[in-house]
């Protein structure tokens, strides 16, 4: 496993030091799974640039509650239903979670799963394993239903946008599921990896010990070597291909890890994040699931506040590289042993 990195230095005349020469250094890294580039920037502490903004968050979310389509007084009336041939009840319920079709679909089959209609404001510190687990279980049930109904829609993912900086258009916390005949770019890249690449990746990170966070039993957690955004965390689930194959025990285990990650993000001072869980369809590569694995990725986003600085710019959107000013090894140090069971 090649964790490729290159240091690049440059000289400037620093006005804070009477325009004396100062050398700055950035590090270029490449993801060992996808080859995506990442530039770790010098001396720009992201945690200071994005302090907590809970007061603004509460005010913003409360103002939006009066017209929110996912709140209890409207969700049953304004959200759509699935055809009975696919999901008999039209919607899926698991604990407090409620899942229904996405009115703005991103795939042939596109779902929204609200964590709880009555929880319009749900800070990351309140994302309990139970809430996350019920939501994930609803998305797994949706994936099973649609792939059984339409075998062509075999590229499955479970995703999250939390608050506007992450791309969310509805403030009420929810996840989105997709099942589609064609892969996203990342799904295609994962499917082209050798069958044991993800497990080898975890083994290599465990051996170095620098970014490996621990195992919760059957799920290994690691900080991304070449992050695509601030504080990227990854979880690898071995011997499973796709979200619809998750059983109850693994749903609960993964949900506990996700809840731990979200609490950790809140401790770092963040309130917005993205998440994606994806794998490989059973007929997209070799027929034996042995050695195959599924990948979950999570990344922080800018805090929602007036005139917040977006963490995505020309380098990400138009060049396909990431510019990150918080280093993975610092995230690993701050995470400690919270992912070890």
Instruction: Compute the distance between CA of residue 143 and CA of residue 20 in angstroms, rounded to an integer.
Output: 60
Q: Which of 188, 157, 193, 189 is nearest to 175 (CA)?
A: 157
For residue 83, what is the domain's CATH number?
3.30.428.10
Q: What is the pLDDT of residue 50?
A: 47
Range of the domain at 267: 46-335
In a domain, residue 203? The reply is: yes
Q: What is the pLDDT of residue 291?
A: 60
Q: Is the pLDDT of residue 244 over 60?
A: yes
In a domain, residue 27? The reply is: no
- Looking at per-residue pLDDT, the higher value among 227 and 325 belongs to 227
Residues β-bridged to residue 33: none
Count structural domains, the chain: 1
Distance of CA 287 to the CA centre of its chain: 27
| Mean pLDDT for the stretch of residues 16-22 | 91
Global pTM reads 0.93
pLDDT digits (tens, 9 = 90+) for 32-73: 999 999 999 986 444 444 455 455 566 766 776 678 999 999
- Looking at per-residue pLDDT, the higher value among 253 and 42 belongs to 253
Q: Which of 110, 105, 103 is nearest to 75 (CA)?
A: 103
In a domain, residue 39? The reply is: no
* Half-sphere exposure in the Cβ direction for 152 (13 Å, CA): 5
In a domain, residue 212? The reply is: yes
In a domain, residue 40? The reply is: no
In a domain, residue 160? The reply is: yes
For 242, phi then psi, to 5°, come to -145, 155
| Mean pLDDT for the stretch of residues 15-40 | 94
In a domain, residue 315? The reply is: yes
pLDDT digits (tens, 9 = 90+) for 314-339: 999 999 999 998 899 999 999 999 99
User: Burial, 195: exposed, middle or buried (Cβ in 10 Å; 0-12, 13-18, 19+)?
Assistant: middle
Token output for 128: 């309990």
In a domain, residue 7? The reply is: no
């Amino acid at each position: 496993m090649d964790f490729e990195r290159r240091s690049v230095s440059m000289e400037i005349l620093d006005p804070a030091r009477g325009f004396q020469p100062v050398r700055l250094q950035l590090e270029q890294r490449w993801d060992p799974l996808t080859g995506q580039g990442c530039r770790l920037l010098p001396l720009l502490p992201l945690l200071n640039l994005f302090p907590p903004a809970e007061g603004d968050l509460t005010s913003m979310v409360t103002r939006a509650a009066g017209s929110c389509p996912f709140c209890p007084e409207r969700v049953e009336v304004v959200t759509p239903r699935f055809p009975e041939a696919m999901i008999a009840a039209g919607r899926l319920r698991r604990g407090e979670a409620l899942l229904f079709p996405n009115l703005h679909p991103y795939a042939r089959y596109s779902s929204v799963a609200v964590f709880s209609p009555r929880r319009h404001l749900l800070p990351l510190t309140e994302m309990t394993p139970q809430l996350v687990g019920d939501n994930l279980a609803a998305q797994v049930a949706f994936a099973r239903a649609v792939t059984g109904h339409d075998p062509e829609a075999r590229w499955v993912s479970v995703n999250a946008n939390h608050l506007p900086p992450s791309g969310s258009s509805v403030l009420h916390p929810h996840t989105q599921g997709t099942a589609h005949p064609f892969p996203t770019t990342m799904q295609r890249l994962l499917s082209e990896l050798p069958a044991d690449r993800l497990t080898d990746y975890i083994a290599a990170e465990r051996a170095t010990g620098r970014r490996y966070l621990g195992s919760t039993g059957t799920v290994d957690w690691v900080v991304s070597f070449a992050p695509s955004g601030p504080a990227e965390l990854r979880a690898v689930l071995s011997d499973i291909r796709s979200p619809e194959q998750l059983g109850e025990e693994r749903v609960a285990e993964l949900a506990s890890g996700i809840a731990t990650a979200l609490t950790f993000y809140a401790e770092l001072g963040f309130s917005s994040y993205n998440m994606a869980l994806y794998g490989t369809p059973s007929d997209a590569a070799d027929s034996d699931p042995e050695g195959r694995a599924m990948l979950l990725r999570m990344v922080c986003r800018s805090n929602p506040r007036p005139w917040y600085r977006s963490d995505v710019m020309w380098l990400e959107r138009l060049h396909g590289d990431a510019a990150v000013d918080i280093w993975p090894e610092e995230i690993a140090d701050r995470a400690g042993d919270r992912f070890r069971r």
